[in-house]
Amino acid sequence: MRVLMAALLGAALFAAARPAADASLEKQADQSYRARDWAAAARLYQAFHDGGGGTASTYDNLGVALASLGRWSEAEAALRKAVEINPRHRWAYNHLGFVYREQGRYEEAIAMFRRQIEFAPRDPYAYRNLAGALVMTGRLDDAEKAAAENQKYTYERGAVYIDMACNLNSQSHPQQAKKYLDQAAAAGVERSLLAQESAHYFLTLRDYRSAEQQYLKLAEYQPYDPVVAMRLGALYWSTGNLDKAAAAFGRAIRVDERDQVRIQTSANTSKTVSLEELRRDPGAGAAVLGDVPADLGRAALLVRLAGARANPVGFERLCREFLTERNPAPAEAWLHDALGWMLAQNGQTPAAVEELDRAWALAPARMTAYHLGVALEKSGDLEKALPFYARSLAPLPETQIDCGCEQPDLAAREQAARAFYAKLRGDAAGFEAYRQSLVKSP
């Protein structure tokens, strides 16, 4: 009897101690969740659940953390556990709808958002998410009805139309998207939302200069948001404006001499991760900052490269290291151009011509043409240099971003090109006709 009582007493003491330990673990998980440290939150909630704890809310939070890390199947399992524990947990239905939507499972997403509305018929977020999902299936009339319901209950005027425009932009339907952007503006939508989605709209049209202007507005409205800097940097990166990309990424990223990368996660917080880890595992960046519109490993490499500009040997080494990666053609062209121009200035003319030829073949640009003209002139190939000098005067397309870094400027380049033409042809009288003859030339 005494043995039995001792065993029961021990079990009781263990049971009494366990909730305290679980509560501590849950508290740590909640803190990580509020700080948007998704990797830590996921790990801690899983440990809490493995220890026998768990509520509908903790499973819901785990699902959000896992979804933020792109771990969709795990997120779905956690959220389904949440609604199993509490079938009326409206936020779990909301988050399940999000998970399905991000995987392209639109009908399942719609069903979840409608389920949320059953339990919260005045919840504006449910109608907002429903409208966004309906747009993805092309049911615009139903989407507009859901949007009208959202506007009855929300204080976020016009935000639902931003979501609808976003989804239409993602499906390459810019004209329909423009309709909802106009409705959002008329409803008095928050200006940063309008700027962000207007940038997306212009990207769909390949009007990169207008997209840049919208992102610059967004940066003015949210100057301390690192994700805004990432969006702007990603735009510059994809269009081959790597000087501007490095400056934008540099607002949120620092790389020290040991290749440790400090990433700003908010106005007042930052985290550090090694450059090697960021390059090896793209998910490492998401674990630090969540879902970001840029490859943080590439962004850190670019920030490091920009810092080496004053050191020709270091700059060449880092350029060549960067070129071992697979990059978008405009970015690749910029790297070959930057490397070739540095080699030309250091007297390594044959190597410079080789790099600049590669840049021109990848993405012809007027400053690459100028650099190639200079390198070819130095090599003594004057007739081949002449058309490149002339092509350096091509007008900048209205939709292309102005790098703001052209040295020498257009007027100085034109003066040099005319003088070079006169040197080869005896006078400059035919220069304009020659220049026009190159307009349709490759």
**Per-residue pLDDT tens for 113-155?**
999 999 999 999 999 999 999 999 999 999 999 999 999 999 9
Q: Model confidence at 281, in pLDDT bands (50, 70, 90)?
A: confident
- Contact by Cβ (8 Å): 61, 30: yes
Closest CA to 164 of 127, 111, 122, 119: 127
* pLDDT over 50 at 78, yes or no: yes
Query: What is the C-alpha separation between 344 and 353, in angstroms, rounded?
Result: 8
In angstroms, the CA 257 to CA 259 distance is 5
The answer to whether the CB of 378 falls within 8 A of the CB of 255 is: no
Closest of 194, 213, 224 to residue 401, by C-alpha: 213
Q: Is the pLDDT of residue 437 over 70?
A: yes
Task: Decide if 296 contacts 253 (C-beta within 8 A).
Answer: yes
Percent of all residues in the chain with a pLDDT value above 70, rounded to a whole number: 93
Give the three-class secondary structure for 50.
helix
Residue 19 has pLDDT above 70, yes or no: no
Predicted pLDDT of residue 5: 33
Q: How far is the C-alpha of 229 from the C-alpha of 239, rounded, in Å?
A: 16
- 221-279, pLDDT tens digit by residue? 999 999 999 999 999 999 999 999 999 999 999 999 999 999 998 888 888 989 998 88
Q: Give the span between the Cα atoms of 134 and 107, in whole angstroms.
A: 8
Q: pLDDT band for position 440 (50/70/90)? A: low
At 33-48, the pLDDT tens digits run: 998 899 999 999 999 9
Strand order of the β-sheet with 253-255 is: 253-255, 260-264, 270-274
- pLDDT of res. 371: 97
pLDDT of residue 148: 95
Question: Are 177 and 168 in contact, with CB atoms under 8 Å apart?
Answer: yes
Rounded distance, CA 416 to CA 420, Å?
6
- Return d(Cα 206, Cα 380) in angstroms, integer: 39
The confidence score (pLDDT) of residue 165 equals 96
